[in-house]
Chain A
Amino acid sequence: MRRILLSVGFIVCMAVQPVFALLEIEISQGVESALPIAVTTTSNDNSPQTRLITQIISADLHRSGLLSVVERQRYPNGLVDKRQVEYQQWRDKGIEALLVVSTQPISENQFRIEFFLYDLVHNKRSLAHMANSNSSSLRRVAHKISDVVFESLIGMRGAFSTRIAYITEMGTGKEKQYVLQVADADGHNPRSVFMSNKQLMSPAWSSNGSKLAYVSFENERSEIFVQDLASGQRKKISSAPGLNSAPTWSPNNQQLALTLSQDGDPNIYILDLQSGEKRQLTSHYGIDTEPTWSVDGRSIYFTSNRSGSPQIYKLSVAGGKAERVSFEGRYNAAAALSPNGDLLAMVHNDGQGYQIGVLDLQNDSFRVITDGSLDEAPSFAPNGSMIIFSTRRSGRTILSAVSADGRVQQQFRLQAGKVREPTWSPFR
């Protein structure tokens, strides 16, 4: 895939290419209650593409923490057929679900992929599907199969076909480059969307997933740009005097909440993307920043140091008085709301370092769910199951993901550069 970007000023822009940095995932902690599933090919299918597909699906399902993919050694003896399954034999091995995948070549570079999901506990076939693919779309099709299987077994929409955007800092000294990248949710297939020799920060997905807003210092100050992912076209949408930062899209995609300091202190503003009109929402002395929208688009959560240290507040988009939301710990910032609006993840410090905390807005309970010293930038998967964030491991900044309940953690192991500010895309 190749995208043309507009070149602005002295910034180096590059066409989107498969890239330097590959993310790999290591699961550091699992769950015992996860549902055991076997993911396999039929016995007579040894094709490399079938093996790749089962590998991708296995990694996806395992990564969710809600399913545990059993090793081949645990399979019962005998051949695996996609239509003839001996339920009892599999069940005797403690396996509760079976996914059988096979592919047939249709033409050169074209495959037909079939998959069958068996519910071994209830003795029934729960899914039987077919999809066509070429070799370049194999990963996408595999993630789609993971989505369908996950939803069938867990009852929650799978987010394996979604993407993550993040900033990678490559090189050192004068060679330093800041790259806005977009990768599959499993970290594979990273593509550079924008590259600059000046700092980039705060990537934010549009609510329909077609654009990214971000902060660029290409003109030696913070300015906000919006870039269309399909065409690569970018547009400067805010360069008021002072700060232009922390963009987030409203749920209806019509507005951006952002931080400006044009009238003195950093405050939250609402920018109407159609008319270009800006409206000031907060007008407090001190710092107000990091706005994020409520699910209904009627309120904004934001970080403010009005009480002396940063804490999370909530304010109606219509204005009025801000209400404090976070009370545990001396530092709470960068709130991210779960897709159903129940949980508020944030960067939390109570003397143990900067970690990700989750506030349950239904019952006001608060839990710290990571144990790093510099964990930052939490962002929910669009199905609410996982939170991706950046963490420091042996002096390097890498991405990590944790289940929203804190039970499963995984590392994205990066091969080059410092990776930060991950943000999970909405569903496509």
Chain B
Amino acid sequence: MKHFRYLLPLFISGFLVACNGNPTKPDDAESGASGALSSSGTSDSESSSVGIEDQQGVMLDALDDPENPLSVRIIYFEYDSAEVSQDSLEVVRSHGQYLTVNPNRMLRLEGHADERGTREYNLALGESRAKTVRDLLILEGVQPGQLEIVSFGEERPAVYGSDEASLQKNRRVEIIY
């Protein structure tokens, strides 16, 4: 999947408005995501390579917009919990809406745990976390076939360290497109 990063400033600003017009309102967020659909869809299928000479007019994917909630790709969890917090719920919804209007997009959800507790229990806990996120996405209308889950338990920490700040960064689900 290609995402071209250099675009005409005009193009960018126009797009940002489309994506972020009203991020808190689901309707607007969805229409923003719809905008992404047309551009990303055409780019993926290579059917609208207009202006290739100077790479202008090539798609911009909402996923690459740092201002968009979709740029948040990690959901954090409490100790021994697979519950998604209220804040993270917004992020999950954004991804759900994006995937609903981009039914060809696949998502891999990687569940992780911190080092406390047994390795096998944490492997199962990581999966529970990934499953919670998957189930929320399905509630948003995402097709189960678009989603893949895997757990690495405590085996692949994001950061090394046993202080609470490190542990907190390791209790997570990574959203990988």
List the interface of chain A (C-beta within 8 A of B).
199, 201-202, 215, 217, 220-222, 242-243, 245-246, 259, 261, 265-266, 286-287, 289-290, 303, 305, 309-310, 331, 333-334, 347, 349, 354, 374, 376-377, 392, 395, 420-421
A424 to B127 CA separation, bound complex (whole angstroms): 29
Contact B124 A266 (CB under 8 A): yes
Residue of B117, B118, B123, B156 touching A243 (CB-CB under 8 A):
B123
Q: How many residues of B contact A (CB 8 A)?
A: 21
Inter-chain contact B116/A245, CB cutoff 8 Å: no
Query: In the docked arrangement, what's the CA distance between A293 and B132, Å?
Result: 31
> What's the minimum C-beta distance from A283 to chain B, rounded to whole angstroms?
15
Contacting A at CB under 8 A, from B119-139, are 119-121, 123-125, 127-128
Q: Which residues of A sit under 8 angstroms from B128, Cβ to Cβ? A: 265-266, 286-287
Contacts of A266 in B (CB 8 A): 124, 127-128
Check B155 for interface membership: any CB of A closer than 8 A.
yes
| B61 touches A (CB below 8 Å) | no
Assess whether B152 is in contact with A199, with CB atoms less than 8 Å apart.
Answer: yes
Please, could you name 23 A-B residue pairs with CB atoms under 8 Å apart, sorted by A? A199-B155, A201-B119, A201-B120, A201-B153, A202-B119, A217-B152, A221-B150, A222-B151, A242-B127, A243-B127, A245-B120, A261-B127, A265-B128, A266-B124, A289-B123, A305-B80, A331-B80, A334-B120, A354-B116, A374-B162, A376-B119, A395-B162, A420-B119
Those of B74-117 within 8 Å (CB) of chain A? 80, 115-117
- In the complex with contacts A245-B123, A289-B124, A333-B151 CB distance below 8 A: no
Q: Are B80 and A303 in contact (CB-based, < 8 A)?
A: no
The 7 closest A-B pairs by CB, nearest first: A199-B155, A266-B124, A334-B118, A287-B124, A333-B118, A246-B120, A289-B124
Residue from the list A215, A265, A287 in contact with B121, Cβ < 8 A? A287
CB-nearest residue of chain B to A199: B155
CA A286 – CA B115 in complex, angstroms? 20
Q: Which of A287, A290, A374 interacts with B115 by CB under 8 Å?
A: A374
The distance in angstroms between the C-alpha atoms of A265 and B152, with both chains bound, is 16
Instruction: Give bound CA distance, A418 to B121, whole Å.
Output: 20
